[in-house]
Amino acid sequence: MQRIIKLDNAKIVIEYTSSAVGHEEFFGPLGDLFDFHDESDRFGARTWELAESELGRITLNLALKKAGLRPSDVGIIFAGDLQNQCVATSQGLASFGIPYMGLYGACSTCGEGLLSSSVFLNSSPAVERAAVVTSSHNCAAERQFRTPIEYGGQRTPTAQWTATAAGAFILRRMETNEKEISAIPDENFSKTNLSAIKNAKKPSETHTVYIDEVMVGKIVDGGVTDAGNMGAAMAPAAADSIETYLKESARTPEDFDAIITGDLGREGSEILCELLLSVGINIKKKHLDCGMLMYDFKRQDVHSGASGCGCSASVMASHFIPEMKKGKYKNVMFLATGALMSPSSIQQGGSIAGIAPVVVLRSDFSGR
Amino acid sequence: MQRIIKLDNAKIVIEYTSSAVGHEEFFGPLGDLFDFHDESDRFGARTWELAESELGRITLNLALKKAGLRPSDVGIIFAGDLQNQCVATSQGLASFGIPYMGLYGACSTCGEGLLSSSVFLNSSPAVERAAVVTSSHNCAAERQFRTPIEYGGQRTPTAQWTATAAGAFILRRMETNEKEISAIPDENFSKTNLSAIKNAKKPSETHTVYIDEVMVGKIVDGGVTDAGNMGAAMAPAAADSIETYLKESARTPEDFDAIITGDLGREGSEILCELLLSVGINIKKKHLDCGMLMYDFKRQDVHSGASGCGCSASVMASHFIPEMKKGKYKNVMFLATGALMSPSSIQQGGSIAGIAPVVVLRSDFSGR
């Protein structure tokens, strides 16, 4: 059975992205790239759970501002988070009034959202623009999944640090015969009024980023039961998706400038590369992991790296998509990675399955 | 902005459905229609949470059997449930190995799944068949959202009874020039081998059920904070979706044989009809609610009716879709209804928002 879905009816463009983070992320190596940060991690809210709602709300707000769009210009929003019943998202995004599709793919939700939105945009001209927002908050996640941070519980070396972060993406359906609008020259960019900025790019953005193909991930259960080792739980799913995609598309890792995983961290990244080597696929030179890029391992006490719905979303939104717009990366395979478990499934001895949807991105020169 | 998504690239057919329920549902008025039941509500599992996983697994299994399909014949499964992190679904469906899209729309997940799967099927011929499965379990839901049933807590008159139920749907993309295969005559149906049953219909099924249009719902927050009154929390979202759909499509309630809501119950159904009357829309003669049909109010102590992800899924799968296949209902608007909240959002004083995606179904005579 065919697994890859080619998006042939239209060109699906990632037009705008935005990100917001907390204290630890702002002081990491990517700190300057995020659009917004709050050193208190509170985002003006009285609980950690509501802080995450605010984080998502702020991030979508910034994306709309960059795009010069009003909420009513966006046809559908695909969103989710790690809180029970994805309530951070539904509370944070309600006031925008954008038609809403709630997703749950654990830390893979950003990839699932990009996949869903691009398939919806490809399906019908009725949807011209869609948004994707995903978030996570360290303090809300720790007290829900493990112990409240005030408890000071010890973490194992394989444990990851749930990022306090959110990323937003605004996608557009471009008809196949539609020409990409070139950038407004530098000197006029800041003077241009809001309606002219719509669809326009910054001068430094010489490339347009497209989603060409997607592939839905399978639930892969490697039998890991340790909630302190999400990397090991997710790596088999990422390996399965990469192997399946490369086989069906008859492509090799060399066809990509980067194969980016969501949040495997140090432990999971090593396992992924080993699993793929055992079937003759070497991705070591192409592999990058958002969870490995978020923090400085020497300076920050984050053990195996970053995780959470907001990790891959904010790193893609602030670093990789902008770099693609500058033409640095042209062909990218993005696999957000999710660990499918709940506090009660862990307590009842259940194993943690993984999932890794594939989103294939391309950047093309579209004028200076 | 246009809200309705017309599925024009192909004909989207709901080919097969199945359902499984627990004790209380089996003894309700629809009891004989469900494909499977377990009077112990345990489905062979050692915890209520795992029982729900089994319930989902059994339901999908039965749908595949009816369809004469193997799991590998299904391109994507859209699924979700009410448990934290939708873990009932990810544990229950992992072993099928079907590419998985996790959804969270609370009790609206069945509608969200039908909407998503039909848009995906419409988007690309790469996906020929998709499945939708949603479930809920009374004992798992009660101890997660309210109190364990052993506690014997009193319930308010507006409270609903989370159904122990699951429903599964198998959808197919039919190319627009493809002819529907007629039913195999009665006398030969049971003798026909498995491969011939594929795509064939039972003799009594004279009609084919299509999904023609869908509309994503908005998050509507009416300010309800009472976790014992989900009907009131969800009714404003259903009213918003019905009003928006009728306005944009220039249709009236009279154009439908039934307008079916998911699980508003007695309280929510009354509120819905009143809200719509206040804007000049009278749906009283057309409105049916799955949550009102599941139990016998006189005989069963279920207060305001049924709720849960499995409620609308099992009632649609066992009652409405089969009736449509017999030609009883021809034009149906289905709105699964979801209440977006979590135990902690309620404890922190948050209000409960609602959502109601629209799925427009049509049955057409396709030979005897």
Does an H or E element contain A325, and which?
Answer: helix A321-325
pLDDT given at position A181: 64
pLDDT in tens, A190-242: 555 545 555 566 778 899 999 999 999 999 999 999 999 999 999 999 999 99
Structure tokens at A287: 């592999």
Angle at A90 (CA atoms; ends A85, A93), nearest 5 degrees: 155
- Other CB atoms within a 10 A radius of the CB of residue B175 amount to 11
Contact criterion met (CB below 8 Å) for B356 and B107:
no
Q: Is A112 on the interface with B (CB under 8 A)?
A: yes
Contact criterion met (CB below 8 Å) for B48 and B143:
yes
Nearest CA in chain A to B124: A5
Residues of chain A with pLDDT under 50: 194
For residue A182, the 8-state DSSP code is P
Q: Is B340 on the interface with A (CB under 8 A)?
A: yes
Contact criterion met (CB below 8 Å) for B96 and A353:
no
Residues of chain B with pLDDT under 50: 194
ipTM: 0.95
pLDDT in tens, B96-140: 999 999 999 999 999 999 999 999 999 999 999 999 999 999 999
Contact criterion met (CB below 8 Å) for B154 and B81:
no
For residue B361, the cross-strand partners are B211, B332
Nearest CA in chain B to A83: B85
pLDDT given at position A342: 96
Ramachandran category for residue A91: left, alpha or beta (phi over 0 → left; psi -120 to 50 → alpha) = alpha
> From residue A172, how far is each of A111, A180, A212, B45 by CA, in Å?
16, 12, 13, 46
Residues of A in contact with B221 (CB under 8 A): 94
CB contact under 8 A, A342 and B84: yes
Angle at A309 (CA atoms; ends A156, A96), nearest 5 degrees: 150
> From residue A196, how far is each of A123, A296, B75 by CA, in Å?
28, 40, 42
For residue B102, the cross-strand partners are B79
Residues of B in contact with A9 (CB under 8 A): 9, 123-124
For residue B339, the 8-state DSSP code is E
Whole-prediction pTM value? Answer: 0.95
CB contact under 8 A, A215 and B344: no
Phi, psi angle pair for A114, to nearest 5°: -65, -40
pLDDT given at position A184: 57
For residue B297, the SS3 value is coil
Treating both helix axes as pointing N-terminal to C-terminal, what angle do A138-145 and A48-67 enclose, rounded to 10 degrees? 140
Q: Which of B26, B98, B60, B84 shows the shortest CA–CA distance to B294?
A: B26
Which residue of B85, B98, B225, B337 is the best one to mutate when testing the A interface, meaning the one whose CB has the most A CBs within 10 A? Answer: B85
Q: For chain A, what percentages of helix, strand and coil (3-state, to nearest 5) are there? A: 40, 25, 40
For residue A340, the cross-strand partners are A353
